[in-house]
Chains A and B, each alone.
Chain A
Amino acid sequence: MYIPHTEADREAMLHTIGAEHLEDLFQDVPAAYRFPKLDLPPAITEMEVMMEMQRLANANESVSDLICFLGAGAYNHYIPAAVDAVLRRGEFLTAYTPYQPEISQGTLQAIFEYQSLIAGLTGMEVSNASHYDGATAVTEAVTMAYAHFRGKRTKMVLSPALHPHYRETAETYNHGTDVSIVKPDVDLKAGPDALLPWIDATTALVVVQYPDFFGRIYNYTSLAEAVHAAGALLAIAVNPLALGLLTPPGEFGADIVVGEGQPLGISLSFGGPYLGIFATRKDYVRKMAGRLVGETVDTRGQRAYVLTLTAREQHIRREKATSNICTNQGLMALASAVYMSLLGKNGLRQVAELCYHKAHYAANQIAALPGYSLWTETPFFHEFVIRCPIPVADINEHLLEHGILGGYDLGKDNPELENCMMIAVTEINSKEEIDLLVETLSEVYHD
């Protein structure tokens, strides 16, 4: 297994150390608590563990077994085989953080590619080497804005159409500090202009989402102008896959672009590990937390890559660091870099368009059903909200019986959206699957 020692090895090693038994090495541990008997299931072999894990996995119904129309922040996309083939290379998978650049050029150059691809996709000047996920990327934007204004502006306006997990995470991080996380009490159907009254001279940051939590897309150019006129920063949380088709937020004038990178070639895996995207303008680079790879040369004059601006990080700045972030999502950033390279300029556009067309087809078909209507009235990308004639939970139960994983029940966290279901459609969903969804929805109402 994984401990290679033989009895003879142990004896020889103990002899070198000058100890008689393994137990002798633990004299510093208080005797009363030393060597507790752990009440854990007994060891099993690799073969048995595989069987046990298969049994557990089979107790789930996966999106391969079901037809998935569920999104709300995690999306079912096709992942080309080459992505995992690269990820599984031990040289990437089992490497440490590239603090020793001479023997880590693979990881460093791959992150540099990731930074370049994200910068290009978002229309921003610099990207870091990633955060944990979309939610923590938002909270890092809050921290950065606070640091940018050196604590002189403390109000963070988070759009009510931002993913609730993102807002909740930012609230947890900032509870009890002088940062105030504000959720404007506006009509959920209102566009970004509704946020304007909430932005003033104490506002450090405004955060909106694109597409927003409900799937809608807005041109945020005038919002950016208003935010800048108030002297504040604008952060836009993106679905990066949508940027294959949509105007990049850099063109709106965003100061920070964050987002959940999962749609870019990362498996659903019941919610993680995912990828926190964080990009900004070059002027703000030193206020950005997280790892960053820069290009330089080595002693032999070769182009090479190295972690840079590390003096900002926790291990050097200690209590003065703006963030305690230490790990990044290195392997997930690699997955997305491979995915973006494979799809490239044409493929990413095609996938984004497929999502767009299929979602619009589904929305039109469902809107035509008796009892159903579209709650979403403005342009959307690949996710939309329908108002249903009966509770969403009942509909989803019926859909599940037909092998369909229905949409997100918005009424659960929002009484104003009772009986509203949010449906996500991706390139994976065929016309037949969409038609089956429509047919089953229509059955529910006639039942």
Chain B
Amino acid sequence: MTESLLCELSVPGRKGVLFPKSDVPKASLPANLTRQRLPLPEVSEVDVVRYFTRLSQLNYCIDKGMYPLGSCTMKYNPKINEETARLSGFANIHPLQPVETIQGCMVLMYELQEMLKEIGGFAGVTLQPAAGAQGELTGVLIIRAYHQSRNDLKRTKILIPDSAHGTNPATSAMSGLEVVQLPSDANGNVDLNELRTHCDDTLAGLMLTNPNTLGLFEENVLEVIRMVHEAGGLVYGDGANMNALLGIVRPGDLGIDVLHYNLHKTFSTPHGGGGPGSGPVGVAAMLVDFMPGPVVDIIEEGDDEIPPLFGFVMPEKSIGRVKSFWGHFGMMVRAYTYIRVHGPEGLRSVSEHAVLNANYLMAQMKKIYHLPYDRTCMHEFVVEGRWDDAPDIHALDIAKRMMDYNLHPPTNYFPLIVHEALMVEPTETESKQTLDAFIEVMEKIADEAHNNPEILKTAPHTTPVGRLDEVKAAKELVLCCGLEFPPRERLLPDKCST
């Protein structure tokens, strides 16, 4: 498929867009600070549009088909969200405008804070964190600040179940806390005996993913939270799996003290090939003062005739700001739109159908793939991508072969506690027909694994490119196309390195 790079398409003198000539007298350019060379391409608008369109067609995407990606909640992204986010009154607002000129934005943020509080059962919500990982960091910093404010300085230990997302330990380490891993028991729950041994006065908190990354609802969740609270610790909830819980149970009601939401998972904002995300954080009452800010609040009460005036307020003992400005507002508009068209019953229906779809797939998949934890799952489940009687086949081979059937593979090799894991999350937006077609492919691949393993080992066959030489990529590190525009000669890959 090799698509030429921009540096190879560049022709001196071509322009992609014209700007008006200056209508003011020219000032002299800064001496010593004017650059001599600007290595950017020279291409026309047609070149640019065709180039990126051709590139786009090499991608799989949710608009094309299903993404059964466990822990990532790749649901359909409603088109109306894109329209509302692009309304000029949202897209063309400067972040530092006087509050009187931005009451529409403020109302939207305030209402979204209120809705997320209600959905999660929390006393406060900050919309500032840019993504799930930053929401997590925010949550852990809040926990640390809470203990410090009580002069409870011994609390430096954070417990993380072995089934947790990889970001959890990285986040805790960034906040200077000591990470202790908790094993799971035979049913995929937190091992209570092990937990008990860590519940002492050095416990800062527990990071709980519920449903966990096996897709199982923590059967002892109330007991786990009670034990941590009794030891003086706080419980952080990883909200990446909220798609199982909307209108089903509120994490705050269970006793979870702080939780991040992923607007780009649960609330349908698009993944954009890796971001932007948005990771608001909800907290229990005693943590409201520690939230990063500013957050939106009413700064002048209204009356029957005048609406209240909304403004930004910094929480009293705030951990500080975690990014520029107020958060990913464009993502907030999309999530708000999504919540409004669903309403309370619609949100519950989202989670009910996400769980229905997962259990439906699991019931059929377990006939052909080994299911290590056989219980009713929530919105996702994990099977093993291996068979004793097909010893050469790994989860990776199954994943790659799925691409030949126009499917995106499930998350593989995660969670780490399952051998050759294939983690499947269909989401509620897939129909029975789509799921049946998925099962049919998984049956075919299982059959091929036993009767024609070579076709899996060499898969994918029908994609724009085959398996890649990742060792070469990591060793040679060709990370940009070379800095000459246009190239002195047509650049070959081995000459592209800087």
Contacts and interface: CB of A to CB of B under 8 A. Distances in A.
A294 B302 CA distance: 56
B61 A5 contact: no
* B interface secondary structure, majority: loop
Contacts of B359: 17, 19, 25
Contacts of A144: none
A4 B132 contact: no
Contact of B468 (A110, A267, A297): A297
Interface stretch (B191-199, B216-224, B228-236, B442-450): B216-224
A10 interface: yes
Contacts of B132: 326-327
B93 interface: yes
A314 B166 contact: yes
A88 B34 CA distance: 36
Given A129-B274, A272-B326, A176 B144 contact: yes
B46 to A, nearest CB: 9
A221 B8 CA distance: 33
A86 B49 CA distance: 7
Contacts of A251: 35
B33 A219 contact: yes
Interface stretch (A26-34, A188-196, A227-235): A26-34
A45 B343 CA distance: 10
Contacts of A19: 359, 376
B419 interface: no
Contact of B480 (A119, A273, A291, A338): A119
A345 interface: yes
Interface string B1-40: 1110111001000111111101111110110111100111
A329 interface: yes
A121 to B, nearest CB: 7
A317 B218 CA distance: 26
Interface residues of A, number: 200
B38 A244 contact: yes
A112 B480 contact: yes
Contacts of B340: 41, 43-44, 49, 52
Contacts of A274: 324
Contacts of A1: 341
A2 B357 CA distance: 14
Interface string A6-19: 00011011101111
Given A93-B77, A303-B493, A344 B271 contact: no
B298 interface: no
A135 interface: yes
B216 A132 contact: no
A33 B320 CA distance: 34
Contacts of B176: 176-177
B92 A30 contact: no
Among A12, A269, A316, chain B packs the most CB atoms within 10 A around the CB of A269
Interface stretch (A152-160, A161-169, A200-208, A368-376): A161-169
B273 A116 contact: no
Given A25-B356, A91-B64, A306 B48 contact: no
Contact of B333 (A53, A169, A357): A53
Interface in A329-382: 329-332, 334, 338, 340-351, 353-354, 356-358, 360-361, 379
B19 to A, nearest CB: 5
B421 interface: no
Nearest to A80: B17
B306 interface: no
B319 to A, nearest CB: 6
A104 B64 CA distance: 13
Interface string B342-361: 11111111101101110110
Contacts of B166: 314-316, 318
A49 B337 contact: yes
B349 to A, nearest CB: 6
Nearest to A46: B80
Given A97-B274, A169-B324, A317-B170, A306 B483 contact: no
A116 B481 contact: yes
Given A26-B355, A36-B247, A324 B133 contact: yes
A390 interface: no
B98 interface: yes
B452 interface: no
B24 A434 contact: yes
Given A94-B271, A102-B400, A346-B15, A41 B343 contact: yes
Contacts of A86: 48-49, 52-53, 56
A270 B2 contact: no
Contacts of B115: 40
Nearest to A432: B23
A87 to B, nearest CB: 8
Interface string B458-484: 101001111111101110111111110
Among B14, B64, B141, B477, chain A packs the most CB atoms within 10 A around the CB of B477
B270 interface: yes
Nearest to A70: B94
Contacts of A54: 87, 89
A2 B428 contact: yes
A35 B348 CA distance: 8
Among A97, A104, A319, A321, chain B packs the most CB atoms within 10 A around the CB of A319
A184 B243 CA distance: 47
Given A268-B94, A298-B468, A351 B432 contact: no
Contact of A271 (B78, B88, B95): B95
Given A105-B1, A304-B465, A60 B104 contact: yes
Contacts of B98: 396, 400
B183 to A, nearest CB: 15
A90 B64 contact: yes
A298 B1 CA distance: 11
16 contacts: A9-B432, A26-B217, A26-B355, A42-B343, A43-B345, A61-B97, A134-B324, A136-B130, A173-B137, A173-B322, A247-B33, A267-B330, A270-B105, A296-B468, A297-B469, A327-B276
Given A341-B51, A345-B485, 11 more contacts: A17-B360, A25-B355, A41-B343, A105-B58, A119-B480, A125-B480, A127-B480, A294-B474, A295-B493, A327-B275, A405-B97
The 9 closest A-B pairs by CB, nearest first: A57-B89, A43-B343, A271-B325, A331-B272, A271-B95, A90-B63, A330-B274, A59-B104, A172-B320
